[in-house]
């Protein structure tokens, strides 16, 4: 499905997208590389004769921003988590490199490779064909050179069919943002605490706690905006600082640990569902107890199998006509006659 929206129309519709000169061009990639394939022979309960809604675009995100409607962002790492996020009405689905830890069991986000991210992003796209999806470029896939960064971004967009990419860093990455946005790849920035660089920051620490460091965050935000970012994540920044930074920008800020006054919020889905038993940051609110609920369900299955109560004849089994069963019994008896010595 090729979505074509003229750049002129985008620019006339909103001042936000003026900083993304060729953002709409990325839509064509989805039609070439990301047509959802049949994935199961089972009936999909979400399938119906109702026409699918049109794909979400940057214009939809900008409309939320112009109307001062908080933008909701949630991560997804596979087909099912993507369907859950989409069904919940999330505005942007983020294929974050956090999946390195919550889905793959690595100790940090730096261990995941670009190919891994593409693999997961493709599954997320299959789960939500119409959603606006952003994918992270992982550590080491964009820092070496502009050519490396562009190659990684184009590969992610073409192979996974995502709508935009995200990578960490401030004004030092303004050139990369400019190159990508000029070539039709929308970019979401990520400033404040940047987990890929946690070691150089002294660990996972709040950023912008002094006037001087808060000013650096503002400088990063302004530089990324002018370079072409359509939005940016503010992570682990004092709420008043995030509020002031947000008010100086004309693109949306997406907060995570940055208070309620950003343009939107993002959380890691498995974190907010209670599905990750690692470190729990202060900003996280758990809306469910995924690990406990699902562990109990699996334990109940184990108990029922051992007790012989699952599967239950009739409820969980398939029938065969008596005549056919008798024929089969006769066939077995003829092929495997009873050994009289065992009688």
Flag whether pLDDT at 305 surpasses 80: yes
Q: Where are the alpha helices (DSSP H) in 228-289?
A: 239-247, 269-272
In order, the DSSP letters of 183-217 are: TT--EEEEEES-GGGTTTTTSS-----SHHHHHHH
Flag whether pLDDT at 9 surpasses 60: no
Flag whether pLDDT at 170 surpasses 60: yes
pLDDT attached to residue 197 = 67
Q: Average the pLDDT over 275-281 and give the result.
A: 87
Paired strand residues for 187:
165
Flag whether pLDDT at 256 surpasses 70: yes
Q: Average the pLDDT over 116-120 and give the result.
A: 98
pLDDT attached to residue 204 = 64
CA torsion, ordered 109, 119, 121, 146, to nearest 10 deg:
70
Considering the domain architecture, whether residues 159 and 50 belong to the same structural domain is answered as yes
Q: Average the pLDDT over 189-212 and give the result.
A: 83
Would you call 191 exposed, middle or buried from its count of C-beta atoms within 10 A (0-12, 13-18, 19+)?
buried
pLDDT attached to residue 1 = 37
Q: Average the pLDDT over 40-53 and give the result.
A: 60
pLDDT attached to residue 91 = 98
Structure tokens at 235: 């992570």
pLDDT attached to residue 33 = 41
Helix (H, G, I), strand (E, B) or coil at 111: helix
The model's confidence at residue 50, banded by pLDDT at 50, 70 and 90, is confident
Helix (H, G, I), strand (E, B) or coil at 167: coil
Name the residue with tokens 């099912």. Answer: 80
Structure tokens at 67: 């109307």
pLDDT in tens, 15-46: 444 344 433 433 433 443 444 444 444 455 55
CB neighbour list of residue 278: distance below 8 Å, 6 or more residues apart: 101, 102
Active site residues: 235
Flag whether pLDDT at 343 surpasses 70: no
Asked if residue 279 is part of any domain, the answer here is: no
Among 126-135, 190-199, 203-212, 286-295, where is mean pLDDT lowest? Answer: 190-199
Considering the domain architecture, whether residues 132 and 250 belong to the same structural domain is answered as yes
Nearest to 55 by CA among 29, 20, 84: 29
Asked if residue 329 is part of any domain, the answer here is: yes
d(CA 64, CA 4): 21
Percent of residues, the chain, with pLDDT higher than 90: 78
Considering the domain architecture, whether residues 31 and 93 belong to the same structural domain is answered as yes
Which of left, alpha, beta for 20 (phi over 0: left; psi -120 to 50: alpha)? beta
Residue count of the chain, please give it. 343
Considering the domain architecture, whether residues 31 and 102 belong to the same structural domain is answered as yes
Domain stops at, among 237, 272, 307: 272
Asked if residue 141 is part of any domain, the answer here is: yes
pLDDT attached to residue 203 = 61
Would you call 145 exposed, middle or buried from its count of C-beta atoms within 10 A (0-12, 13-18, 19+)?
exposed
Structure tokens at 60: 């939809």
d(CA 250, CA 263): 10
pLDDT attached to residue 186 = 98
pLDDT attached to residue 184 = 96
Asked if residue 278 is part of any domain, the answer here is: no
Among 11-25, 179-193, 227-241, 258-272, where is mean pLDDT lowest? Answer: 11-25
pLDDT in tens, 196-207: 865 555 666 899
Helix 146-160 crosses helix 174-182 at what angle (to 10 degrees)? Answer: 50
Flag whether pLDDT at 149 surpasses 90: yes
Considering the domain architecture, whether residues 136 and 266 belong to the same structural domain is answered as yes
pLDDT attached to residue 21 = 41
pLDDT attached to residue 198 = 59
Structure tokens at 56: 């979400």
Considering the domain architecture, whether residues 304 and 267 belong to the same structural domain is answered as no
Name the residue with tokens 């939500």. Answer: 128
d(CA 236, CA 323): 70
Asked if residue 195 is part of any domain, the answer here is: yes
Which of left, alpha, beta for 140 (phi over 0: left; psi -120 to 50: alpha)? left
Q: Answer whether 261's CB lies under 8 Å from 251's CB.
A: no
Domain that residue 177 falls in: 7-272
Considering the domain architecture, whether residues 212 and 257 belong to the same structural domain is answered as yes
| Better-scored residue on pLDDT, 167 or 26 | 167
Among 130-139, 164-173, 334-343, where is mean pLDDT lowest? Answer: 334-343
Considering the domain architecture, whether residues 209 and 326 belong to the same structural domain is answered as no
Flag whether pLDDT at 259 surpasses 80: yes
Considering the domain architecture, whether residues 305 and 250 belong to the same structural domain is answered as no
pLDDT in tens, 58-84: 999 999 999 999 999 999 999 999 999
Helix (H, G, I), strand (E, B) or coil at 132: strand
Cα 322 to Cα 25, 315, 328, 335: the distances in Å are 63, 18, 10, 20
Paired strand residues for 188:
166, 231
Flag whether pLDDT at 176 surpasses 90: yes
Please tell me the total count of domains within the chain: 2
Q: What is the mean pLDDT of the chain?
A: 87
d(CA 278, CA 185): 34
């Amino acid at each position: 499905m090729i979505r074509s929206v003229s750049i002129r129309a985008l620019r006339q519709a909103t001042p936000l997208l003026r900083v993304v000169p060729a953002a709409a061009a990325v839509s064509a990639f989805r039609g070439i590389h990301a047509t959802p394939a049949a994935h199961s022979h089972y009936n999909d309960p979400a399938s119906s004769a109702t026409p699918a809604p049109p794909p979400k675009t940057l214009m939809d995100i900008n409309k939320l921003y112009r109307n001062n409607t908080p933008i909701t962002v949630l991560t997804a790492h596979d087909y099912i988590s993507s369907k859950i996020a989409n069904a919940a009405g999330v505005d942007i689905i983020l294929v974050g490199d956090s999946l390195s830890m919550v889905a793959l069991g690595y100790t940090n986000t730096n261990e995941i490779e670009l190919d891994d991210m593409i693999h997961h992003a493709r599954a997320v796209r299959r789960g939500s064909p119409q959603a606006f999806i952003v994918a992270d470029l992982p550590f080491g896939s964009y820092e070496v050179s502009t050519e490396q960064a562009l190659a990684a971004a184009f590969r992610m967009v073409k192979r996974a069919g995502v709508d935009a990419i995200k990578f960490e860093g401030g004004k030092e990455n303004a050139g990369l943002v400019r190159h990508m946005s000029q070539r039709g790849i929308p970019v979401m920035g990520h400033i404040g605490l940047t987990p890929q660089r946690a070691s150089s920051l002294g660990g996972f620490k709040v950023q912008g706690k002094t006037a001087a460091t808060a000013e650096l965050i503002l400088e990063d935000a302004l530089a990324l905006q002018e370079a072409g970012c359509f939005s940016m994540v503010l992570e682990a920044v004092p709420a008043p600082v995030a509020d002031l930074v947000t008010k100086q920008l004309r693109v949306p800020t997406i907060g995570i640990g940055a208070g309620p006054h950003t343009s939107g919020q993002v959380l890691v889905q498995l974190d907010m569902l209670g599905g990750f038993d690692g470190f729990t940051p202060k900003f996280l609110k758990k809306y469910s107890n995924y690990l406990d609920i699902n562990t109990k369900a699996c334990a109940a299955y184990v108990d029922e199998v051992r007790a012989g109560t699952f599967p239950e004849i009739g409820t969980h089994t398939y029938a065969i006509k008596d005549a056919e069963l008798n024929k089969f019994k006769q066939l077995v008896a003829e092929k495997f006659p009873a050994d009289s010595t065992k009688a």
